[in-house]
């Protein structure tokens, strides 16, 4: 390769996320970043296909089904080390669940596609046929009576499982099975329809396929004589020979220019990418953070260092926690890591991009709402584990609050809903009065920041005084009424509050 220097600047959110992913893959130490611009030498593309998969596998290793298979060997070792003394009915149920998962994984289409690439003579599908769940006794007492026979059976099954684990954990298994995992659990969220995600691709090796589609095309383009090129790249304005590289492979963004010509001016397509920009866009999965089918990216578009720092902080928080609902929490943690670091974010609006249900959703987190999040850190943190159930779906209070803050909405409807369910179905409400008071206090700030009534510095006492008044009412009402009619009066007060009717809530 030559030593040509390439330079790119931040732009729209998707390009920024892709550029962030590109830097993550090649390493920040291999680029030069000045404000919103990055420079790098052409030689960083050497072996880029290996770096691409290596980064994604390393980052999402704990979430891969491959890890679910091979990490079980630690549990097997623990059982054997104690000669199965601690193996009980619950352990057996866990083993059977693992067997069910293993059988599902190793016969899935993505795993089968990896087997042909692996350097192994083991027929894993034949081994799978020998793998059967073990009959579970109904009670621990029954288990204890037959434990000796059960453990002997378990040892036989573990022998089969070891073959499966060793097969998946061999060098070619780590290379290809994990690559297939990240393709369908991570990469597919960002782009589709080309390279190894094209059903008609003729290349079975995913590394070679990526290299040919993206890396080789970019390198050949860099080396080419562009003097006679008459087209321009839609992203970097660089010269192009043709308009063959559309943005149609990006999910929720591009379109098939051959079938949707009406989408462009005068039916003439001008939306195409040079091979280098196409390569960088393919790095979008390394820029966004994905948990299952959900993604998150914070578009800090003034300084690349900030974009890398905040998004990698979010990625670390989410993937270390292993909680699918922690995306909002990770974002908040990254934004107010501490008061000093958070201060600089209070003076700019932050664009937050979420990928949900195969669609992108956008929010502008204004500086006043960002300031609110920072100032109410302790109250927000107290809501992490609180939730309620509505129509058999679990709603996490923290996520509901942050979602409304992102959208510059007050919390009145959420508070009303939580109080309603607390009265009507308390067993499905996993929060208490303190959580509600925190919401009321936060809502006071939201209401004021959105142009609500002016409040003096003592407005925080409104919630405290309301709590004291409610406790007094409760005590007096219990004395006056032999029967407990408190839920009834609470309903009347709640409905009066919702309709702003001071008369309906009056009790005598």
Ordered DSSP codes for 353-401: EEEETTEEEEEEE-HHHHHHHHHTHHHHHTTTT-EEEETTEEEEHHHHH
Mean pLDDT, rounded, for 108-115: 94
**Distance between CA atoms of 307 and 42, rounded to whole angstroms?**
23
Among 65-74, 145-154, 348-357, 391-400, the minimum mean pLDDT is found in 348-357
pLDDT of residue 105: 95
Least confident of 17-21, 46-50, 121-125, 383-387: 383-387
The mean per-residue pLDDT over the stretch 46-69 comes to 96
User: What is d(CA 137, CA 25) in angstroms, rounded to the nearest whole number?
Assistant: 50
The phi and psi torsions of 370 (rounded to 5 degrees) equal -65, -40
pLDDT at position 341 is 44
Greatest CA separation found in the chain?
A: 94
C-alpha distance from residue 95 to each of 54, 132, 233 (Å):
31, 11, 54
pTM of the model: 0.79
Other beta carbons within 10 Å of 216: 17
What's the pLDDT at 261?
Answer: 54
- Check residue 399 and give its pLDDT: 82
What are the domain boundaries of the chain? 5-46+191-285, 63-176
Q: Does the pLDDT at position 260 exceed 50?
A: yes
* pLDDT for 3: 62
CA distance 28 to 26: 7
pLDDT at 347: 41
- Tell me which of 113-122, 169-178, 335-344 is least confident: 335-344
Q: Mapped to the 3 state alphabet, what secondary structure does 115-140 carry?
A: HCCCCCCCCHHHHHHHCCCCCCCCCH
Tell me the average pLDDT across 140-165.
94
Region of poorest pLDDT, from 39-43, 250-254, 304-308, 365-369 = 365-369
According to the model, what pLDDT value does residue 357 have? Answer: 81
Give strand pairing partners of 469.
none
Identify the weakest region by mean pLDDT among 38-42, 85-89, 136-140, 359-363: 359-363
pLDDT for the residue 144 = 94
Q: Which two tokens stand for residue 442?
A: 């936060």
Whole-number pLDDT of residue 189: 94
DSSP tag of 202:
-
Q: Give the pLDDT confidence score for residue 479 in this predicted structure.
A: 57
**What is the secondary structure of 228-244 as a DSSP string?**
T--EE-TTT--EES-S-
Instruction: Give the sign of the dihedral formed by CA 117, CA 118, CA 119, CA 121.
Output: negative
pLDDT digits (tens, 9 = 90+) for 6-32: 999 999 999 999 999 999 999 999 999
| pLDDT (0 to 100) of residue 364 | 78
d(CA 271, CA 234): 6
Could you give the C-alpha distances from 463 to 177, 438, 503, 506, in angstroms and in order? Answer: 56, 9, 21, 20
Question: What count of other Cβ atoms lies within 10 Å of the Cβ of residue 359?
Answer: 9
pLDDT at position 120 is 86
What is the model's pLDDT at position 427? 86
Query: Phi and psi at residue 205, in whole multiples of 5°?
Result: -75, 115
Q: Of 142-146, 250-254, 441-445, where does the model show the most confidence?
A: 142-146
Task: Please report, for residues 254, 256, 268, the alpha-carbon distance to residue 265 in angstroms, rounded to integers and kept in the order given.
Answer: 15, 15, 6
Check residues 236 and 321 and name the one with the higher pLDDT. Answer: 236
User: Which pLDDT band holds residue 74 (cuts at 50, 70, 90)?
Assistant: very high
* pLDDT reported for residue 385: 85
pLDDT for the residue numbered 343: 41
Instruction: Give kind and range of the element (H or E) at residue 497.
Output: helix 486-498
> Residue 339: is its pLDDT beyond 50?
no
Alpha carbons within 13 angstroms on the beta-carbon side of residue 424 total: 11
Mean pLDDT computed over 374-398 = 85
What mean pLDDT comes out for the span 250-267?
62
CB of 263 within 8 A of CB of 24? no
Distance CA 148, CA 145 (A): 8
Compare 465 and 278 and report the one with higher pLDDT. 278
Q: What is the DSSP letter of 193?
A: S
Nearest to 355 by CA among 22, 20, 60, 14: 14
What pLDDT is stored for residue 173 in this prediction?
Answer: 94
Identify the residue with better confidence: 260 or 73.
Answer: 73
Query: What pLDDT is recorded for position 352?
Result: 85
Q: Is 323 helix (H, G, I), strand (E, B) or coil?
A: coil
Q: For position 342, what pLDDT does the model report?
A: 39
Residue range 353-373: mean pLDDT, rounded: 80
Count CB-CB contacts under 10 A for residue 110. Answer: 15
Task: Write the CB contacts of 38 (distance below 8 Å, at least 6 apart in sequence).
Answer: 7, 8, 9, 19, 23, 31, 32, 304
- Give 363's pLDDT tier (boundaries 50, 70, 90): confident
| Residue whose C-alpha is closest to residue 505's, from 481, 497, 487 | 497
The mean pLDDT value for 112-117 works out to: 93
What average pLDDT does the segment 466-489 reach? 63
Q: What is the pLDDT, as a whole number, of residue 429? A: 87
pLDDT at residue number 1: 39
Residues 54-60: contacts with CB under 8 Å, at least 24 apart = 55/24, 55/25, 55/286, 56/182, 56/186, 56/187, 56/285, 56/286, 57/178, 57/179, 57/181, 57/182, 59/286, 59/315, 59/319, 60/181, 60/182, 60/185, 60/186, 60/290, 60/319
């Amino acid at each position: 390769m030559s030593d040509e220097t390439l330079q790119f600047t931040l732009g729209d959110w998707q390009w920024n996320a892709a550029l962030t992913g590109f830097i993550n893959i090649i390493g920040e130490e291999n680029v030069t970043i000045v404000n919103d611009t990055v420079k790098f030498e052409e030689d960083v593309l050497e072996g880029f296909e290996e770096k691409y998969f290596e980064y994604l596998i390393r980052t999402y290793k704990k979430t891969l089904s491959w890890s679910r298979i091979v990490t079980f060997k630690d549990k097997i070792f623990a059982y054997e080390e104690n000669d199965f003394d601690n193996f009980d009915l619950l352990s057996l149920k866990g083993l059977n669940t693992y067997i069910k998962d293993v059988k599902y994984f190793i016969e899935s289409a993505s795993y089968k596609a990896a087997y042909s690439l692996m350097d192994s003579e083991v027929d894993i599908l034949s081994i799978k046929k020998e793998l059967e769940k073990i009959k579970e006794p109904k009670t621990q007492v029954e288990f204890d009576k037959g434990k000796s026979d059960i453990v002997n059976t378990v040892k036989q099954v573990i022998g089969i499982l070891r073959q499966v684990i060793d097969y998946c954990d061999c060098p070619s298994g780590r290379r290809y099975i994990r690559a297939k995992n990240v393709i369908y659990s991570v990469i597919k969220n960002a782009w589709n329809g080309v390279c190894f995600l094209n059903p008609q691709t003729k290349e079975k090796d995913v590394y070679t396929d990526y290299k040919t589609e993206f890396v080789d095309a970019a390198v050949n383009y860099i080396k080419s004589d562009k003097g006679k090129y008459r087209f321009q790249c839609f992203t970097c304005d660089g010269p192009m020979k043709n308009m063959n590289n559309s943005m149609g492979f990006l999910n929720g963004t591009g379109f098939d220019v051959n079938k949707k010509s009406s989408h462009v001016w005068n039916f003439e397509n001008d939306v195409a990418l040079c091979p280098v920009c196409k390569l960088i866009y393919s790095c979008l999965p390394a820029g966004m953070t994905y948990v299952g089918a959900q993604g998150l990216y914070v578009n800090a578009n003034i300084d690349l260092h900030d974009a890398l720092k905040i998004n990698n902080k979010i990625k670390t928080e989410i993937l270390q926690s292993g909680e699918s609902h922690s995306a909002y929490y990770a974002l908040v943690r990254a934004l107010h890591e501490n008061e000093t670091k958070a201060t600089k974010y209070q003076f700019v609006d932050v664009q937050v991009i979420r990928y949900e249900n195969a669609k992108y959703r956008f929010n502008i987190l204004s500086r006043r709402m960002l300031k609110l999040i920072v100032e109410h850190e302790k109250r927000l943190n107290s809501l992490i584990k609180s939730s309620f159930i509505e129509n058999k779906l679990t709603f996490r209070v923290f996520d509901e609050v942050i979602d409304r803050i992102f959208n510059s909405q007050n919390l009145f409807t959420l508070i009303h809903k939580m109080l309603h369910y607390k009265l009507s179905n308390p067993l499905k409400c996993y929060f208490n009065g303190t959580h509600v008071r925190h919401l009321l206090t936060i809502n006071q700030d939201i209401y004021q920041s959105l142009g609500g009534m002016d409040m003096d510095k003592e407005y925080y006492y409104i919630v405290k005084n309301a709590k004291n008044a409610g406790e007094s009412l409760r005590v007096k009402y219990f004395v006056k009424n032999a029967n407990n009619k408190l839920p009834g009066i609470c309903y009347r007060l709640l409905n009066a509050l919702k309709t702003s009717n001071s008369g309906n809530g009056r009790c005598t």
